[in-house]
Structure 1
Amino acid sequence: MMNNKKILSVGELLLRICPGGDWLETNSLPFYVGGAEANVATALALWGLPSAYFTALPDNAMSRELARYLEEKTIETSRILYRGERIGIYYLPKGKDLKNAGVIYDRAHSSFASLKPGSIDWDTVLEDIGWLHFSAISPALNKNAATVCTEMLEAASTKNITISLDLNYRAKLWQYGAAPTEIMPALADHCDLIMGNLWAAEKMLGIPVDQSLVGTDTKKDYLRHAWLTSEQIMENFPKVKYVANTFRFDSGEKGIRYFTTLYNNKTLYTSKEYLSEKILDKVGSGDCFMAGLIYGLSQNHANQDTLEYATAAAYQKLFIPSDATHQRPEEIKQFMTTYER
């Protein structure tokens, strides 16, 4: 689908700080380099695809160190804009989900959140790009960020670039007076691949969850709903060719139950189901799944193979403490063949 062009991930680079334990007594806080799109870019580069990243950072020594950190992971960083005041931060203990009420954002007035419409030369940023990936986190920041996303997608569409969207919903964002359903449908109009879950599709695109269908909490009904939601997305957004859904449910006190779907050409593909009594860190699992989809589809892998790889990679990420994965393709494929419940 890409003709050997680069895959560009666009979004805010963040530092995740993880309070917990005796951090006050030890004067020590673990942190990770993150941001949904940076996590995708990291995985794609690790898996041998030409991965580029666009964000905005203040022009200082810390930003340059972060860029070098990404470059060491073979991510192309030449498109990064160095302007503005600060790097975005969020606080979340290890093991917690970003949808958790405990997440604390410290992103106001960051370089990325301060981007203005008309300030980016998208012809330059999109040069040699065959696939563009972004998430719903960026337009959630403020009105200007949403308009910047619109400019980006319009420019990418004129260049026939494949576009993917992760419907990340963050309740603590979207605080500038616009509901997601007022912003996201127009952005989804440009997309070829949309990934999320049933509830994100409702929050972002206004596609309702049938409570009678999911109230039974059975896999059969969830899969049926995935079919219906995917059909509705494609009806509402004719450019969309693929719809992916993740189903990640807590199991026991610290465990997880995980499976996914991919819809294309009137067919719903379903992944293997994974179960674990305990996981390490939920952050970045969805990003890893998204990267797996891009990895397979950009190389024209079969839909079922693409889905299984993406799902295995995302499940393995639940046992990795950093925001991005460090699992290589051979490790993921080996896991796929040896996993037992």
Structure 2
Amino acid sequence: MSGLLQQNYKEGAVLSFGELLLRIVPDAGGEWLNDNVLPFFIGGAELNVATALALWDVPSKYFTALPQNGMSAQIVEYLSRKNIDTTPVYYQGNRVGLYYLTKGKDLKHDALIYDRANSAFADLQPGMIDWDKVLDGVTWFHFSAICPAINQQVADVCMEASKVASERGITISIDLNYRSKLWQYGKHPKDVMPELVKYCDVIMGNIWAAEQMLGIEVLGDIHESGQKSIYLKEALSSSERIMAEYPKCKAVANTFRFDATGDIDYYTALYYEGEFYNSQEYHATEFVAKVGTGDCFMAGLIYGFYNNLGPQETLEYATAAAFQKLFIASDATTQTAQQITNTIKA
């Protein structure tokens, strides 16, 4: 059974693999220095996916690496209370990764500062993990392009995991989230990502990420158009070329979020089994946090396929979940599946 909707995912869990990060949030005016208050959130792209899935009653496992200390114990206990299975967590090293992001700004903004070198996760090496053990009871494996962006060793660990998951017939998904500040070890994404993506069944991102990471060129000058129909036409073209290049891939999803004017327009597309679907469009004049919207969309896709929802229903759910995430301060959504379903446009 090759189709995503023909799989019996409920025989197992979804395993999300990636680095847990603490997001430190200084305010733009520097008042945190006077108030001695520096807010933080627990996140990381794959943890945001795991958190959403657990909230939506999908069996959710999370693999990361943490130092063996009291703070890690508190973090793991916190995740366990959210119904995330933390038994795969690997303990080693000395530190948890951090990043600083000025309140209200975007992950692609200059206000982003990473402090994650030599973290427990960044120090993972091939051969450390018994992947057959970690993947036991797993029917879906998810990771993102942030992992192989960290260093060559972590990229090799991603390859190691992807090969074992593929051999076991586990569905593999990847989010092509591009972080230019992370690709600093002498490799371009196009040197690394294609070899990983060839193992993936579900590829999510946007047309520009596919160009940057996979060399799937954005055809023509569409950047000046601002026309939804042109962007969707390019999403279809990009998806078809990804499918042709990566025969294991069964679904390609693209997100479009435009916020140059301060307002936000958001819509998405899904290419599945030769059919192209696009979502309803959402608009916001205000928002709380942009962080984690793409992760929430990815979680929504997994939720839909895991529960054997139809492609259009899956896409609308994922889109609504991602849009509603804009109004939530934490890195992961706090909305239940029913709350999200209630917000889908009729």
What TM-score bracket applies, with the shorter chain setting the length? over 0.9
TM, length-normalised to structure 2: 0.96
How far off is 1:268 after superposition? 1.0
Q: Secondary structure at the match of 1:138?
A: helix
How far off is 1:163 after superposition? 0.3
Counterpart for residue 3 of structure 2: none
Segments of structure 2 that go 5 or more residues without pairing to the other structure are 1-6
**Take 1:153 and 1:297, find their aligned partners in 2: how far apart are those partners?**
19
Q: Secondary structure at the match of 2:299?
A: helix
2:282 counterpart of 1:274: yes
Q: Secondary structure at the match of 1:49?
A: coil
Q: Tell me if structure 2 keeps the 8 A contact 1:55–1:80.
A: yes
Q: Secondary structure at the match of 1:105?
A: strand
**Counterpart of 2:259 in structure 1: which amino acid?**
D
Q: Work out which of the residue numbers 123, 136, 143 in structure 1 matches 2:145.
A: 136
**Take 1:215 and 1:160, find their aligned partners in 2: how far apart are those partners?**
43
How far off is 1:62 after superposition? 0.3
Counterpart for residue 303 of structure 1: 311
Counterpart for residue 169 of structure 2: 160
Q: Secondary structure at the match of 2:269?
A: strand
Q: Tell me if structure 2 keeps the 8 A contact 1:84–1:110.
A: yes
**Take 1:172 and 1:238, find their aligned partners in 2: how far apart are those partners?**
31
Q: How does 1:111-260 map to 2 (within 5 A)?
A: 111-250=120-259, 252=261, 254-260=262-268
Counterpart for residue 45 of structure 2: 36
How far off is 1:232 after superposition? 0.5
Q: Tell me if structure 2 keeps the 8 A contact 1:95–1:283.
A: no
**Take 2:197 and 2:345, find their aligned partners in 1: how far apart are those partners?**
35
Q: Tell me if structure 1 keeps the 8 A contact 2:280–2:345.
A: no
Q: Tell me if structure 2 keeps the 8 A contact 1:163–1:191.
A: yes
How far off is 1:96 after superposition? 1.4
**Counterpart of 1:242 in structure 2: which amino acid?**
A
How far off is 1:337 after superposition? 4.4
How far off is 1:214 after superposition? 4.2
How far off is 1:278 after superposition? 1.1
2:21 counterpart of 1:14: yes
Q: Deviation above 4 Å: which 4+ runs of structure 1?
A: none
**Take 2:221 and 2:125, find their aligned partners in 1: how far apart are those partners?**
44
How far off is 1:49 after superposition? 0.5
Instruction: Show CA shifts across 1:21-79 (max 9, x none).
Output: 41000111000000000000000000001000000000000001100111000000001
Segments of structure 1 that go 5 or more residues without pairing to the other structure are none
Q: Work out which of the residue numbers 87, 97, 100 in structure 2 matches 1:78.
A: 87
TM, length-normalised to structure 1: 0.97
- Percent identical among aligned pairs is 56
Q: Work out which of the residue numbers 312, 317, 325 in structure 1 matches 2:320.
A: 312
**Counterpart of 1:304 in structure 2: which amino acid?**
Q
**Counterpart of 1:19 in structure 2: which amino acid?**
P
Q: Tell me if structure 2 keeps the 8 A contact 1:251–1:257.
A: no
Counterpart for residue 4 of structure 1: 11
